[in-house]
Structure 1
Amino acid sequence: MRLRTLLVTVTATLAAASSPAAATSGTAAATGTTAHSCSSAVAIEGFSDALDKTTYDGTFVGNLSALSVGLPHSRLRPGGGTPAGGIAALSDRSSLFTLDPKTLKPTGVVGLADENGAPLDSEGLAVDRDGTLLITSETEPSVRRYSRDGKILDRLPVPDALRVAPAGRATSNLTFEGLTLLPGGHTLLAGMEGSLSGDTPGVVRFQTWTRHGKHFGLAAQYGYRTDTGLGVSETAAAPDGRLLVLERGFTAGYGNTVRLYLADLRHATDTSRVDTLTGQAGVRLARKTLLADLADCPSLGARARQPQPNPLLDNIEGMTVTGVRHGRLSLLLVSDDNQNPAQITRLYSLRVRLPHSAAQDA
């Protein structure tokens, strides 16, 4: 599918997000695009493989693990920023790309590193209200604040239990996979991909920080139960404070499973002082509601390079809300090709109608 098919939706929703009236409107109206139903709550409006196996300014455009919008003016490159409403795309190989909001083609790239100049396993991304960048690395794990030109400004504290063993109880490569700022920008949330040693398998932890000036301090933590065999690959805040959660898994010979959930943390227990999550009385996990299994989406003519339950699917890792229009959220998703010829860097445009409440206990 041509890139412009996807851009019709993305450009329109970025414009809607910049208009307060459009962003808050709940009026039903024709959107001018054809909705293809994945479920009663989710429709796919397009996809694009235009970035697959491409390079920009000598850097491979792939391994994309996170997306974010709402960056300041000018291009994201040393000494600069990004277009208003532009899209930042994070590679887990220590590169941060700017994608033009109209063409979704790269317009800039910044290299990232830790305090010693070493590369990151950069997986989660949130853009703060001043344009600074909050980026996770799965290695320790860590959350660092970067300037728009890639300089480290700060490093957030991380609870000891969430660190990779033997320093903590986390498993390597199953730590901070998702990152998002909740509405208002006062709370940052990171989603662990996998369970801590000692916790019930499938129960993962969401860690939050609250803002104190330009810095963030440790705050509440919540438990969330994933479906069997799946891990959390991304989190994104909905405008009402609830949380969109991507759960993902892979089975050789079958392919990817990718499900989109809505999580509600409002009545969940703060687990920051709960040593192990084993189903004990009095600990309430986040409630979640299935919005769609993406295998149920129409394939739209997509082709896969390895077995998949739906050829549209690949290793989807990144997700961001690009706007709100007519009471529905517009989402942009991206798959991580792992620089593997059998996988694809694919962008997806979804339209989501949120239920009034997350109705089932996890």
Structure 2
Amino acid sequence: MQSAALIPVADAIPIAAVWLEGLLIITFALHILLINTVLGGAVVCSVRSVFNKNSIPVKRMSKALPSLFALAVNLGVAPLLFIQVLYGQYLYTSSVLMAVYWLSVVFLAILAYSALYWFAGRYATHTGFSLSIFISAAAMLCVGLIMTNNMTLMLRPDAWSAYFSSPYGLLHNLSDPTVPFRYLHVVIASIAVGGLVLAVIARYRLTKESTELALREERLGLKIFFVSSLAQLPVGLGLLFSLPEHARLLFIGGSPVYTGVFLAALSLVTVLLFMAATGKLYGTIGALLCTVLAMAGIRALYRKAMLDPYGGIAALPVQGEYSSFLVFLISLALGLVAIVYMIKLAMRSSGEA
């Protein structure tokens, strides 16, 4: 059976695909930043709580993580909806093929969220080993692996025929050479962002208590960020060479757009490493925002390269319902303002705790 025959018929989209793809890139970049913050923060708290049973930075960070987790999950709805609108025939199919794992994401997220709350509530008086933060980090790592499997399986209609020999919702995509590199890319990025969060907390929440402690923790946070970002270089190289040949060639000279975005991302990574190495906190944050946005663009281009042979988004019928799109933009803007305000409240509550 030909792979194209397994792809369901696509539904019409309300507006031109370029608008939805742009919003997908932006909302995914915001979502992954929050996910990196929560996962990286949990990893940093896990390690620091072992070596220092009464760490003030861990206490400050742990208080903010549950709220940030909730925000990350809610903000993840937007890119998930956009990718369903644009690539629903691929994503729905891959989700059904690995339904058991995909449905387990809900329970793993609840477990991670509950464990974060338990750790935040207990850490102030905790004097021994805390299993809860490790459980939370482990649950989030499992969710990341499942998401990576699904987001790569949707790009592989040629692998869907395995369903006929295993129709139980237990398929995965671990045989795809890109999966381990994509997964490591997210995990290492989370550790880096966790270090950056530590540096931010040190500057804005620890200075009043001890200037020396604040400076020491800020340097440590930036060092974690720098070392983790350096570790991304071999992982990124491995990811590039694990791509299918036709997609890889697009990024290394085969297409001006693909190659240009790839070179821009590399330039931003260079700036990012320089800012972190020289201890410039604001510069590091700014470079990180730009780098994540560029990486989200590369992700979208790779998805396009993989699905264009099967029709992709170019063949999607457009209905031209721009009024509903305008209402959505207004709602999105108001929602983002609310999210920023909630983050400020979360950081303020962590500082007062």
Please identify the structure whose Cα radius of gyration is greater: 2
Q: Same fold (TM over 0.5)?
A: no
Structure with greater strand percent? 1
**Higher percent of residues as helix:** 2
User: Structure 2-normalised TM-score?
Assistant: 0.26
